[in-house]
């Protein structure tokens, strides 16, 4: 297992490098770079230095010489100053190598337009993503696994039929539409005002007792978590059911029942470990996908400021340090989680041996 993990770790380097190269090259051809964003602000607001004070020069992106759209009437010296501020006075290759060297040292620079380091900005948005990702994943697993097992045991019955119908309907409802429905029904829309409209906590959260803080936290996250979880039940439930059905039909289960073992012991003592292999082993990747993916629409509807909105706003503003810094960091985590998923397979079923397989 050690040699396999080492090979996978070594593959992380070229994979991550390839991701960064492709995205860096693409940004060189995307119109409307950060300098053009600043020039647009200058023309629209008349504030020359707003948004560029305190920026670093170890970042990336595209830019022209002095023929930016909207630059007419501005002195060339000012354009050159902007290029130096954003680091665009250097060749693209030099910018890319400098960026990668800084990222290897986990130095992700500073946002162009917020005067805050990328790491601090991500940490600022992290509580929202932790809330949505953690609780959505846990609730999906807690509900879907027992439901999938029961559907497998009672395959073909009326219980299996009507629960499948409910699951399919839930999967077909878009998350944002369900979020709007929840707001209308329970957050001061046309009916009830049982839940707050925005935020993770109330304004007086610091003055609440420990129990009051816990209640307030769950009160605020109830609707957004429900909206982000609704479609997750279908895939996981059906995956669990099909995994158990495949195992239940195998010969060792028939033999165990013929020996007089109770159905519960056969189900949870023999079938469970084999059937849940693919479900449990996939938990790290599922959690990371929900956690770092960030739901822009859910966050916007419930006025939550998380990683989803951060990524969208950075892309619109061409805030390259935020875009590339988060891409590198989350890409690295995603690749490492892929390795952890393989390790989970071995943990769940020690009979699996990746060393004997050619990768």
Angle subtended at Cα 235 by Cα 136 and Cα 295, rounded to the nearest 5 degrees: 40
Q: Is the pLDDT of residue 65 over 60?
A: no
Q: Is the pLDDT of residue 197 over 80?
A: no
CATH of domain 119-317: 1.10.3720.10
Q: Which whole number is the average pLDDT over 20-24?
A: 90
Q: What is the pTM of this model?
A: 0.71
Window from 14-28, 69-83, 193-207 with minimum mean pLDDT: 69-83
pLDDT at 47 (0 to 100): 41
Calculate the alpha carbon distances from 106 to 30, 154, 209, 323, 336 in Å.
26, 52, 38, 15, 16
pLDDT at 359 (0 to 100): 45
pLDDT band at 21 (very low <50, low <70, confident <90, very high): very high
pLDDT at 69 (0 to 100): 47
User: Which residues, 6+ apart, have CB-to-CB distance to 351 below 8 Å?
Assistant: none
The average confidence (pLDDT) of the chain is: 77
Intervals of CATH 1.10.3720.10 along the chain: 119-317
Q: Is 139 exposed, middle or buried (0-12, 13-18, 19+ CB in 10 A)?
A: middle
Q: Is the pLDDT of residue 137 over 60?
A: yes
Which residue do the tokens 């990524």 mark?
A: 311
Q: Is the pLDDT of residue 356 over 80?
A: no
Q: Is the pLDDT of residue 242 over 70?
A: yes
pLDDT band at 54 (very low <50, low <70, confident <90, very high): very low
Q: Which whole number is the average pLDDT over 55-70?
A: 45
pLDDT band at 288 (very low <50, low <70, confident <90, very high): low
Q: Is the pLDDT of residue 267 over 80?
A: no
Q: Is the pLDDT of residue 49 over 50?
A: no
pLDDT at 58 (0 to 100): 42
**60 vs 215, higher pLDDT:** 215
Calculate the alpha carbon distances from 246 to 144, 162, 163, 269 in Å.
17, 21, 20, 16
Query: Quick check: 102 and 109 in contact, CB under 8 A?
Result: yes
**167 vs 52, higher pLDDT:** 167
pLDDT at 264 (0 to 100): 76
């Amino acid at each position: 297992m050690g040699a396999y993990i080492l090979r996978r770790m070594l593959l992380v380097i070229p994979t991550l490098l390839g991701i960064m190269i492709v995205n860096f090259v693409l940004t060189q051809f995307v119109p409307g770079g950060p300098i053009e964003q600043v020039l647009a602000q200058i023309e629209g607001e008349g504030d020359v230095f707003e948004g560029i004070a305190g920026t670093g020069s170890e970042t990336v992106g595209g830019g022209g010489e002095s023929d930016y759209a909207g630059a007419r009437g501005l002195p060339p010296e000012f354009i050159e100053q902007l290029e130096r501020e954003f680091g665009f006075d250097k060749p693209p290759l030099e910018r890319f190598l400098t960026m990668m060297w800084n990222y290897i040292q986990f130095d992700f620079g500073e946002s162009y337009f917020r005067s805050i380091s990328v790491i601090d900005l991500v940490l600022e948005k992290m509580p929202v993503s932790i809330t949505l990702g953690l609780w959505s994943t846990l609730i999906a697993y807690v509900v879907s696994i027992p439901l999938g097992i029961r559907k497998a045991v009672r395959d073909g019955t009326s219980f299996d039929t009507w629960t499948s119908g409910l699951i399919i309907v839930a999967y077909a409802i878009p998350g944002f539409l369900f979020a709007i429905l929840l707001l209308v029904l329970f957050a001061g829309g046309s009916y009830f005002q049982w839940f707050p409209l925005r935020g993770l906590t109330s304004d007086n959260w610091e003055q609440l007792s420990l129990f009051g803080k816990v209640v307030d936290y769950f009160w605020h996250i109830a609707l957004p978590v429900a909206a982000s979880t609704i479609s997750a039940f279908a895939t996981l439930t059906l995956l669990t059911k099909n995994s158990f059905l495949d195992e239940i039909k195998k010969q060792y289960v028939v033999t165990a029942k013929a020996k007089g073992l109770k159905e519960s012991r056969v189900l949870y003592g023999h079938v469970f470990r084999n059937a849940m292999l693919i479900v449990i082993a996939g938990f790290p990747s599922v959690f990371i996908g929900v956690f770092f993916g960030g739901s822009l629409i859910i966050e916007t509807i419930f006025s939550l400021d998380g990683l989803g909105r951060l990524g969208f706003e950075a892309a619109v503003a061409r805030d390259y340090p935020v875009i590339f810094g988060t891409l590198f960091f989350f890409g690295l985590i995603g690749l490492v989680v892929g390795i952890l998923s393989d390790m989970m397979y071995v943990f769940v079923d020690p009979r699996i041996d990746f060393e004997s397989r050619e990768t």
